[in-house]
Amino acid sequence: MELNKKYIEFMLDNVIGSSIRVQLPKPVSDGKIVWVKLGPVVYMNVDLEVVEKYSRSVLFKLKFDKYEIEELIFLPVESAPMSIKSKLINKIEKLVCKTFLEDGRRDDIVKMYEDKKAMMFTGIEKLVTKASTKYADIKHCSRLGLLNFEGDLFRAYDLMDGRFTIVNEKHKDVTTTDAHGILEYMESPGKPIVNYDGKTWIIPEQHQNARPTKDALYKFLKLELLVK
C-alpha cells in the first residue's frame, strides 16, 4: 500500500503535473456531439489541485472555466505512467464535457468552435497576404534570371540594401544573401540549389545559354569593377 502511494506521488510530481489540457467535443445539428480529429479544435485548460492521496486513487479539485469540482479518480498503478496519464485525461475530458452540457452551455461550445475556425482562417489569410505582398514588393526590384529553361527556374532580385533574394519558378523564396553569396551559386564549383519540385541544381554545370553572362551577372551584383 505504501509503495502504491509513493508511485502515485511520483506520477503526480513527474508525469501528470498541476494542469492538463482536454478537448471539448463539438455539438452538431442532430443534437449529438463529436470529437474533432481534423480542423479547428477547442481545448480547455484544467488545473489539478490534489486534495487527498490514497493507495490507488486521488481526490482532485478540478478548476476550469468558471467551475471548481472535486472528483475522486482511480489511478491504475499497475499500468505504465503514460497509460495512467492518458486514462486520467480521458476521464477528466468526459467530466468537463458533461459539466458544460449539464449547465446548458451547448451554445457556448458552438461559439467557441466558430471563433476558433474564424481565428484559424484569419491566420491563413494573413500568411497568404504576407506572401503575396512580399512578392508584390520585390517584383518591381531589379532582377536577373539565374537559370532559364523557357522561363526562369531561379531568379534574383536586388533589394537595394546590399542583399539579394533568390526565388524559384513558383516565386517562393530560396534564400536571401549578399552579392558574394549569389556568386557561390553561380561560379564553379557551384553551391547546390533546390527548385520548387525538389530537384537539386548546380548552375555552373548547366548550358551557358541557360545562364547569364559573367558581365551581366557582375553588373547586376554591382561588382562590375571587379570584372577583368
Q: With pLDDT > 90 as the criterion, what percentage of the chain qualifies?
A: 44
Cis-peptide into 204, omega within 30 deg: no
Residue 123: pLDDT over 70: no
Pairing of strands 173-177, 193-194: unpaired
Q: What's the whole-number mean pLDDT along residues 205-226?
A: 84
What pLDDT does 88 receive? 92
- In the chain, what are the domain boundaries? 2-109, 139-226
Per-residue model confidence as pLDDT tens digits over 12-65: 888 898 999 999 998 887 778 888 877 788 899 999 999 999 888 999 999 999
Lookup: cell for 11: 506520477
Residue 90: pLDDT over 50: yes
115 within 8 A of 121, measured Cβ to Cβ:
no
Q: Which of 36-40, 46-50, 99-103, 194-198 has the weakest average pLDDT?
A: 36-40
Residue 107 to residues 110, 141, 174: CA-CA distances in angstroms? 5, 52, 46
Residue 60 to residues 2, 72, 79, 80, 98: CA-CA distances in angstroms? 20, 6, 20, 21, 17
